[in-house]
Chains A and B, each alone.
Chain A
Amino acid sequence: MYKYKTNDLILRTTTSLIAFILLGFAVYLLLAGHNSPGGGFVGGLMTSGAILLMNMAYGFETVKKVLPINFVKLIPIGLAVAAATGAGSFLFKQPFLSHTFGYFHIPIFGEVELATAMLFDIGVYLTVVGVMMTIILTIANDKD
C-alpha cells in the first residue's frame, strides 16, 4: 500500500501536545456534567477522540504499547460500575438507583458538593470509551 515513506514530524509533534489538551477537556466535561453541559457520554467521546488522534499519528502498535488497555474489557467494567452504583442504594434500605449527595471539605478546593451520580457517570464514561475504541480499532484492522 505504501508507495513511499512519509515524514510525519509536524503531525506527531502536534499530536503529543493536542492529545493532552483533549484528555483534559474530556475530564473537564466529565466533571462539569452536573451543573453545565457535558457528562459521561461527551467525555467518553472526547477521550476516544484523543486516543483516535494518537492512533492516527503514531500507528496502532505504538499506541498499544503506550496505552496497554484492552478496550473490550472496559465495557463490562463500566457497566459493572453503573450497576453497582444502582445496587449500592440497597445497602441503605433505599429503592434502586436512588442517589444522594453531601458536602465535604477538600484541602485545595475547599467546600465541595460530591454526589453519587458522579460514580454512575464514570460508569457511562468507561462504557462509551470501550465501545467507541472497540468499533474504531476493529474496523481499522484490515491487514490480517
Chain B
Amino acid sequence: MTNILTASENLINIAVIISFIGISISLACLLYRVITGPTQPDRAVALDSMGINLMAVAGIMSIYLVTPNLNDVILLIGILSFLSTLAIAKYLEKGVIIDRDLD
C-alpha cells in the first residue's frame, strides 16, 4: 500500500515539474509575441493568453504546495484578465472605454 502511495506521489511530483516547464516555455513564447507583435491586437491577445497561463501556474502551484487556498486566486486572475482584455479591445475599437450613452 505504501508502495502505491509513494509511486503516486512521485508521479504527481514529476507531472508538476513537467507542467511548470511547459507553462514557462509557453510564457516565454507569449512574451516574445508581446514584445515583437506587429500590431496592437496581437499584443492584446498575447496578454490575454498570458493571463490564462498565469491561472495554470496558480493551479499547478496549489498542487505543488498542497493547499486549497489558491482556488480563489485562479478565479480572480480569470476575471481580471477578462476585464482587462475587454478594456483593451474596447479602447482599440472605439477610443473610449466607458462611453456616456451608447444608443
Contacts and interface: CB of A to CB of B under 8 A. Distances in A.
Contacts of A134: none
A137 B75 CA distance: 25
| Central interface residue in A36, A46, A59, by most chain B CB within 10 Å | A59
Interface string B12-54: 0000000000000000000000000000000000000000000
Nearest to B80: A49
A29 B87 CA distance: 24
Contacts of A29: 72
Contacts of A60: 98-101
Interface string A88-114: 000000000000000000000000000
A137 B73 CA distance: 26
A1 B95 CA distance: 7
A59 B99 contact: yes
Interface residues of A, number: 31
Contacts of A11: 86
Interface string A124-137: 00000000000011
Interface string A7-42: 010010000001000100100010010001110001
Interface on chain A toward B: helix, strand, loop, or mixed SS?
A: helix
A53 B86 CA distance: 9
B63 interface: no
Interface of B: 69, 72-73, 75-76, 79-80, 82-83, 86-87, 90, 93-103
Given A6-B93, A56-B86, A59-B98, 13 more contacts: A1-B94, A11-B86, A22-B79, A37-B69, A46-B79, A49-B80, A53-B86, A56-B97, A58-B102, A59-B102, A60-B98, A60-B100, A142-B96
